[in-house]
Amino acid sequence: MTTGAAVAAVQRILGDPWAADNPLGLAACLAADERAELPPSGVAAMAEFGLTAEFVPAHHGGRLRNLARTIEVLRAVYRRDPALGLGCGAGPLVAAANVWTAGSPQQCARTAKLLLAGGTLAGGSDLTDHGLSAVRSGNSLVLNGVNDIVANIEHADAMVVSARTMDTPGTRPYRQLLLHRGELAADRVHDLPRHATVGMRGVSLGGIRFTECPVPAASPLGGLGDGQRSCQVIRVALPGMMIGILDTALRLAVRHARRRILYGASLAGMPRAEAILSGAFADLLCCDAFCGAAAEALVRFPGSANRYAAAVKFLVPRMLIDATTELSALLGAAFYVRDGETGYFQKLVRDVRAAGLGHEPAISAQLTLLTCLPRSARSGIPAPDELFRSGSDELDFGRLTLQPDDDDPLIGTLLTAVDRIPRDARELRALAAWFGDQVDALAADCRTLPPNEPGITAGPAALALTTRYALALGAAACLGRWLADGGDPAWPLLALARLARRFTGRLPDLPGLPAAVAAARSQLGTDAAERADQDMTFDLACRDLRSMA
């Protein structure tokens, strides 16, 4: 099944979002959210599609080949209901990635069999201290402590947990364990009460307590710290899925702005509204390009993928949250209404913030970036165009590494983009050159860092460098995708202009840029309206939702 066919199958199962009688329409999903539960028919629908097969590598009998496919399939679910996407999709994927990365052949085979049969796998890859400890006793490990925030833990057939195995600070002493509920002594394992949440209300976030609980000797996944290698997969996948939230928020905002009449004219046609709508659209495309390049880097450039995954985790959720929040300004007082389309928009604002936290805080990604900051701006070679297109090569979890290469192909793409951009796209060429200058300045500032600065004690100045680096990588991904695909330069121009504002707080002082940005806003505003009218997705795939019904 191709990616397009899989997305179409999900869309057909979810049905018409606007139909009041659709049990998986927006109205039904909002009602379920008010009850703090997943849409009852949604869980069955995902089982009918066989969603868990999307998380099993093809060589284990599943449908997971490249991460870009998995992201787009789950994005279709997030577009309808983020809670359904997290509860039935992202949660099991997070846990399964740890197994494929560090598990033994027997553990991988057993997990594949469980997921392909529709079983439930829970857990995560946040390697912070959950208070779990594992002490060896004979041929077993004995677990004590609490893992207090895990999605759907009480329904899980199996789970991945992280336990401290040594009384030493840091993350390396953590070992991940694959546990099957049926193999644990019932009187030593206790589910904790569900947490009430602000966003993702339908997802059951609970905890589990182990009390002197022996687990099989074959439970550990790999060696100490091995779980960290899978983290880069999740850092790309979860933000990539989150793009579906902004897709629906933008669609609802466009519909509202076009219906709202102020002073005898449509709100959508007013300059400020156009700037907000087109800006959110440009940010969505930028996030999609960045996630796509990072996903493909896991296959083509595993030595660089860890830094790109960290940058995606740090930057993309922030951009999606900011864009969704900015769109809410168009709704005015209607934003506070808790029913109808505006009520669903309010749910998306809550959900996108919860999804933005994901399985780890952003500071963890920044600390990873600190170890990868460019010391020399001219060390990277440009990435091939294939990095910016979803390939057919299967993701090899065994090749994932935490050791960065010296080369930085995305920065190489940014630094050579000017030579590839047509001369008639003058303002885009100037923006690309401006970002190249920022990379030079960043490299110079990085060389002044004290040797011990890239660590958990890093100060605000060092962390600010990671922000600049992530923004430069985002710009590189936009330019690389546009150069690979061609087309109208309006979207990369507006995307880079918005990234530049994040860089310095204002638009760069470049000849003709303000007028070019205004024209790009007008073009993207028109494009957004056309996609809304034609029921096309707002991402780079631009899929026809009507043809999937």
Specify if 411 maps to a domain.
yes
pLDDT in tens, 116-170: 999 999 985 454 445 788 888 887 889 999 988 888 888 899 999 988 876 555 5
Do 105 and 128 belong together in one domain?
A: no
How far apart, in whole angstroms, are the C-alpha atoms of residue 377 and residue 386?
Answer: 23
- 130 and 31, same structural domain? no
Cβ(321)–Cβ(353) below 8 Å:
yes
Give Cβ neighbours of residue 70 (< 8 Å, ≥ 6 apart).
54, 55, 64, 93, 237
**CATH number, domain containing residue 23:** 1.10.540.10
Number of domains in the chain: 3
Structure token digits, residue 80: 């309808």
Shared domain for 130 and 107, answered yes or no, is no
User: Are 321 and 349 within one domain?
Assistant: yes
Q: Where does 329-407 have alpha helices with state H?
A: 340-357, 362-370
Residues 255, 311, single domain; the answer is yes
285 located within any domain? yes
Instruction: Show pLDDT as tens, one digit a residue, over the chain (549 residues).
Output: 899 999 999 999 999 999 999 999 999 999 999 999 999 899 999 999 999 999 999 999 999 998 999 999 999 999 999 999 999 998 899 999 999 999 999 999 999 999 999 999 998 545 444 578 888 888 788 999 998 888 888 889 999 998 887 655 554 567 889 999 999 999 999 999 999 999 999 999 888 999 999 999 889 998 766 767 889 999 999 999 999 999 999 999 999 999 998 888 889 889 999 999 999 999 999 999 999 999 999 999 998 999 999 999 999 999 999 999 999 999 988 888 889 999 999 999 999 999 877 667 888 899 889 888 876 555 568 899 999 987 667 899 988 888 777 789 999 999 999 999 999 999 999 999 999 999 999 999 988 888 766 667 778 888 999 999 999 999 999 999 999 999 999 999 999 999 999 999 999 999 999 999 999 999 999 999 999 999 999 999 999 998 775
The verdict on residue 265 lying in a domain is yes
Residues 466 and 481 in one domain: yes
Do the Cβ atoms of 76 and 10 come closer than 8 Å? yes
Structure pTM? 0.95
> Which pairs with CB-CB distance under 8 Å and at least 24 residues apart come from 497-506?
497/431, 498/279, 498/282, 498/283, 498/286, 499/286, 499/435, 499/471, 499/474, 499/475, 500/431, 500/434, 500/435, 500/475, 502/467, 502/471, 503/438, 503/468, 503/471
- Say if 183 falls within a structural domain: yes
Task: Name the strand (E) or helix (H) holding 21.
Answer: none
Does 549 reside within a domain?
Answer: no
Domain with residue 155: its CATH number is: 2.40.110.10
Mark which of 193, 221, 249 sits at the end of a domain.
Answer: 221
Q: Quick one: 452 and 478 in the same domain?
A: yes
127 and 273, same domain (yes or no):
no
206 SS3 class: strand
State the CB neighbour count (10 A cutoff) for residue 200.
27
**Residue span of the structural domain in which 146 resides:** 122-221
Confirm if 242 and 355 have CB atoms less than 8 A apart.
yes
Q: Could you report the per-residue pLDDT of 13-62, keeping only the tens digit for each?
A: 999 999 999 999 999 999 999 999 999 899 999 999 999 999 999 999 99
Q: Which helix (H) or strand (E) holds 321?
A: helix 302-328
Q: What would the two tokens of residue 211 be?
A: 């009390």
Residue 542 lies in a domain: no
CATH number (domain holding residue 299): 1.20.140.10
